[in-house]
A = this chain, B = another copy of it.
Amino acid sequence: MKILAIGAHLDDIELACGGTLAKAVKNGHTVKLVVMTDSAYTNFDGTVLRTQDEAFKEGVSAVERLGIKDLVILNFPIKNVPYNGSTVEALDKIMSDFRPDYIFTHWVFDTHQDHKNTAQATISAARYMYNIFMYEPIPPSGRSYAPFRPLAYFDISDSITEKLDSLREHKSQHAKYGEQWIEAVEGRAKIRGFENGCKYAEAFEVVRLSLDI
């Protein structure tokens, strides 16, 4: 199976569906990641939170921890990823070439403008694709004006380690949020796992699925 995961920034995908992707890799599936921006992050007051170089190094290390080799970084402007023909066509091209069976993207009601626009551009581009999952947002961006509806679960008990290790590679983020960042992600995986009858899980809201029986 071919799996395409799309995120606005380096670390979004790892945080939200890193366990599912690491498991897919272990099980022999082909996984491609697309990140919309170079993910350098400067605060409104000019404070540099991570440079382009740091973001790239951290991102590559994190992705490697998940066992993923195919990482594409687009250069849409951070904080200004648009939802229009430019992003839709960029993703349309990638999908037309790669022909993914499963697509993972941001949740469409995520409160970060880059996340929301990436989700919308993905869904627009994926008009001929049939399995689209929106991953659960992680604070600070996820507490929205609409509720997240967990519809599909993947058991990640065998890949939770890879997921958490991957997050630790994002040293700038880890420094910013502290160890609580890791613990919160693990805590969610526990409650989602309990909901799913397993130890750890990730949950997704579904746009649509085409299932075999």
Q: Chain A interface (Cβ within 8 Å of chain B)?
A: 1, 3, 20, 23-24, 27, 29, 44-45, 77-80, 82-85, 88-90, 92-93, 96, 102, 108, 111-113, 120-121, 123-124, 127-128, 130, 134, 139-155, 180-181, 183-191, 193-197, 199, 205-213
Contact at B96–A45, with CB atoms within 8 Å? Answer: yes
For A212, list chain B residues within 8 Å (CB): 154-155
Q: Which of B3, B79, B143, B147 contacts A85 (CB 8 A)?
A: B79
For A154, list chain B residues within 8 Å (CB): 210-213
| Nearest CB in chain B: distance from A204 CB, A | 9
For A108, list chain B residues within 8 Å (CB): 145
Q: Which 10 residue pairs are nearest across A and B when measured between Cβ atoms?
A: A187-B190, A79-B85, A184-B194, A187-B187, A147-B149, A127-B140, A147-B147, A44-B89, A188-B191, A152-B209
Q: Which of B96, B151, B213 contacts A208 (CB 8 A)?
A: B151
For A78, list chain B residues within 8 Å (CB): 85
Contact at B124–A111, with CB atoms within 8 Å? Answer: yes
A84-B80, A128-B140, A184-B191 known; A208 vs B153 contact (CB < 8 Å): yes
Q: Is the interface of A mostly helix, strand, loop or mixed?
A: mixed
Contact at B207–A144, with CB atoms within 8 Å? Answer: yes
Contact at B113–A88, with CB atoms within 8 Å? Answer: yes
State A194–B145 Cα separation when bound (angstroms): 18
Contact at A197–B210, with CB atoms within 8 Å? Answer: yes
State A210–B139 Cα separation when bound (angstroms): 15
For A191, list chain B residues within 8 Å (CB): 184-185, 187-188, 191
Taking A151-B206, A181-B194 as known contacts, 18 extra A-B pairs with beta carbons closer than 8 A to each other, sorted by chain A number, are A23-B213, A44-B89, A79-B84, A84-B113, A128-B140, A130-B197, A134-B145, A147-B148, A151-B208, A152-B206, A152-B211, A153-B210, A153-B211, A180-B190, A187-B190, A187-B191, A188-B188, A188-B191
State A185–B192 Cα separation when bound (angstroms): 10
